C-alpha cells in the first residue's frame, strides 16, 4: 500500500516499517482501504493517524506537517459511534537534521454550532494538544472578543474540565472565521489606540474564562474574502503590528498565553503574498494553520479535488520559503469532501463537466463529511477511484461526485 493520501502517509510515518500498530494499543488488519478494516481494543474516541510525522513526505526541506480533519467518534469501526466532528489541525514537528519525531501539536477545532449535536463531553481530549473553540467575533462597541451569542461561562468551564483527562491540553479561543466581516478587523489593526485597548481587554477576557490563548482567523488582511482590491494596503503592515504587540503582551502573562493564526493557502502569486507580513508571522506566532482546502469548487465548472495532496505540500512550503519556521507551519487536511453534480452521470472522471454543487444525503452546503463517505463507499454502492489511477481520491454515484481524502489504497 502506498503512503497516500495524507491520512495514509501520516499513519505510515507514525508506525514506520518496524513496529506494528498493536504497540500503541490498536489492532489493524489491512485488506484494502475500506474503512472498517480498522479495529480498536476499547471504546474510547479514536481519530486515526493524528500522532505522527511523515518522514517520507519531508519534501523540499519541509518538516512541519499538520492535519485538518473532521474527527470521527471511534472512527469507522461502527458508523453509529461517529458523532464527534471537529475540525482538526495536527502539527507534526521534526528536527531538520535528524528527522526525528518531536512532540506533535494536534489542534482540534470545536465549532460552537455543534454544541447540541456533539456535546463537549464526547470529545476525547487525549487526542489533542490544543482545542480551538470556534468562533468568537469582534465586539466593536467594547473593543474585545465575544462569543457569537454572548458569554457562555458553563461551556468554557466544561471545555477546561477536559484538562482533568489531559493536563497538558490548551484551550484556545478562535476569533473570526469565513463568515466574519473584514471591516472590524481592519478598523482595529489600523488604529494604534484601538490595538492597545483590544490587547488589554482580550487578555482580561481570556483570563476571566480560563482560555490559554488566542487564534486569529481573519480572512484576510488586504484581501477581504479573497478580494485583494477590497481592503486597504495598510492592513498588511498593521496586522503585523497587532501580532507583534499581542506577542509582547502575551509573553508577560503567567502562564504565557498562546498566539496563532489561520492563514490563506500559499499559492504563488495568490492573495497570501499581499495579505501577510511574513516576518511578523514568523516572529510572533506559535504556529500558523494553513487553510489548504476549498482550493477547488463549483466555480471551476468541472470536477476536481478541493484539497489536492501535492498542492497542500507546495502551498504550505510557500510559508517556509517566506521565512516562517517549518516547525510552525501546519498543513490543513480536511475530513470532508466537496460534492459536485455531474452534467452527465456517465462522465465521472477528474475534470468532468458539472452543473454545480451537489449534496449527499447527510451532507451540508455542498460538503460530505468523511463519516458519511465511509458509509456510502462501503454500503451504498458508491464507486471510488484512487491515486494509483493518476489522481487524488474521489467517489461517485449517479450524478454525484465527491473528492475527499481516504487513508488507504489498494
- Strand spans (E) along 60-112: 87-91, 105-111
pLDDT for res 126: 94
Backbone φ, ψ for residue 332 (5° rounding): -90, 125
Task: Name which of 124, 123, 133, 63 is nearest 98 in CA terms.
Answer: 63
**pLDDT score of 173 more than 50:** yes
Neighbours of 37 (CB within 10 A): 16
Neighbours of 260 (CB within 10 A): 26
CATH class entry, domain 60-336: alpha beta
Neighbours of 378 (CB within 10 A): 16
List 27, 219, 245, 372, catalytic entry: 219
Matching fold, domains 60-336 and 340-403: no
99 phi-psi bin (left φ>0, alpha ψ -120 to 50, beta other):
left
**pLDDT score of 63 more than 60:** no
Output the CA torsion sign for 125, 127, 131, 132: negative
Q: CB-based contacts of 270: which residues, under 8 Å, 6+ apart?
A: 264
pLDDT for res 5: 41
273 is catalytic: no
Q: What share of the chain is helix, strand, coil (3-state, %, to 5)?
A: 30, 25, 45
The proportion of the chain whose per-residue pLDDT surpasses 90, expressed as a percent, equals 63
pLDDT for res 105: 84
**pLDDT score of 194 more than 60:** yes
Backbone φ, ψ for residue 298 (5° rounding): -60, -20
CA separation for the pair 215, 171 (Å, rounded): 10
| Nearest-10 crossing angle of helices 234-251, 192-209 | 40
**pLDDT score of 353 more than 60:** yes
Give per-residue pLDDT as tens, 1-43.
Answer: 443 344 444 444 333 333 333 323 322 222 333 333 333 333 3
110-124 b/e with 16+ CB inside 10 Å = b?
bbeebeeebebeebb
Where along the chain do its domains lie? 60-336, 340-403
Give per-residue pLDDT as tens, 264-292.
Answer: 999 999 999 999 999 999 999 999 999 99
Q: How confident is the model at residue 388 (pLDDT cuts 50, 70, 90)?
A: low
CA separation for the pair 20, 39 (Å, rounded): 14
Please, how many CA atoms are within 13 Å of residue 111, restricted to the half-sphere of its CB? 14
225 phi-psi bin (left φ>0, alpha ψ -120 to 50, beta other):
left
Give per-residue pLDDT as tens, 306-330.
Answer: 999 899 999 999 999 999 999 999 8
DSSP letter, residue 107: E
pLDDT for res 408: 56
Q: How confident is the model at residue 389 (pLDDT cuts 50, 70, 90)?
A: low
Q: What is the CATH number of domain 340-403?
A: 3.10.50.10
Amino acid at each position: 500500500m502506498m503512503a497516500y493520501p495524507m491520512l495514509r502517509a501520516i499513519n505510515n510515518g507514525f508506525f514506520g516499517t518496524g513496529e506494528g500498530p498493536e504497540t500503541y494499543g490498536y489492532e489493524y488488519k489491512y485488506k484494502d482501504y475500506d474503512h472498517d478494516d480498522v479495529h480498536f481494543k476499547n471504546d474510547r474516541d479514536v481519530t486515526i493517524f493524528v500522532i505522527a510525522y511523515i518522514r517520507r513526505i519531508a519534501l523540499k526541506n519541509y518538516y512541519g506537517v499538520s492535519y485538518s480533519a473532521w474527527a470521527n467518534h471511534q472512527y469507522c469501526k461502527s458508523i453509529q459511534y461517529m458523532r464527534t466532528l471537529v475540525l482538526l489541525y495536527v502539527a507534526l514537528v521534526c528536527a531538520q537534521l535528524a528527522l526525528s519525531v518531536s512532540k506533535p501539536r494536534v489542534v482540534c477545532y470545536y465549532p460552537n454550532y455543534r454544541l447540541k449535536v456533539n456535546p463537549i463531553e464526547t470529545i476525547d481530549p487525549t487526542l489533542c494538544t490544543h482545542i480551538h473553540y470556534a468562533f468568537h467575533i469582534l465586539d466593536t462597541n467594547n473593543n474585545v472578543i465575544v462569543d457569537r451569542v454572548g458569554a457562555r461561562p458553563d461551556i468554557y468551564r466544561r471545555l477546561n474540565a477536559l484538562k482533568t483527562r489531559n493536563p497538558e491540553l490548551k484551550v484556545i479561543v478562535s476569533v473570526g472565521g469565513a463568515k466574519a466581516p473584514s471591516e472590524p478587523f481592519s478598523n482595529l489593526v489600523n488604529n494604534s489606540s484601538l490595538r492597545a485597548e483590544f490587547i488589554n481587554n482580550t487578555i482580561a477576557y481570556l483570563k476571566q474564562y480560563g482560555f490559554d490563548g488566542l487564534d486569529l482567523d481573519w480572512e484576510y488582511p488586504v484581501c477581504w474574502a479573497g478580494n485583494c482590491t477590497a481592503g486597504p494596503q495598510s492592513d498588511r503592515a498593521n496586522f503585523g503590528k497587532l501580532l507583534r504587540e499581542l506577542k509582547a503582551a502575551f509573553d508577560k502573562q503567567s502562564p504565557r498565553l498562546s498566539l496563532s493564526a489561520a492563514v490563506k493557502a500559499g499559492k504563488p502569486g495568490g492573495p497570501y503574498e499581499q495579505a501577510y507580513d511574513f516576518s511578523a508571522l514568523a516572529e510572533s506566532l506559535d504556529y500558523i494553520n494553513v487553510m489548504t482546502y476549498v482550493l477547488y469548487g463549483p466555480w471551476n465548472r468541472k470536477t476536481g479535488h478541493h484539497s489536492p495532496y501535492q498542492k497542500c505540500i507546495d502551498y504550505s512550503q510557500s510559508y517556509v520559503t517566506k521565512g516562517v519556521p517549518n516547525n510552525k507551519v501546519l498543513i490543513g487536511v480536511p475530513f470532508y469532501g466537496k460534492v459536485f453534480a455531474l452534467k452527465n452521470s456517465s462522465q465521472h472522471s477528474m475534470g468532468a463537466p458539472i452543473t454545480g454543487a451537489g449534496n449527499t444525503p447527510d451532507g451540508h452546503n455542498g460538503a460530505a463529511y468523511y463519516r458519511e463517505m465511509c458509509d456510502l463507499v462501503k454500503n451504498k454502492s458508491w464507486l471510488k477511484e484512487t491515486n494509483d489511477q493518476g489522481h487524488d481520491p474521489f467517489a461517485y454515484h449517479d450524478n454525484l461526485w465527491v473528492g475527499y481524502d481516504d487513508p488507504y489504497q489498494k
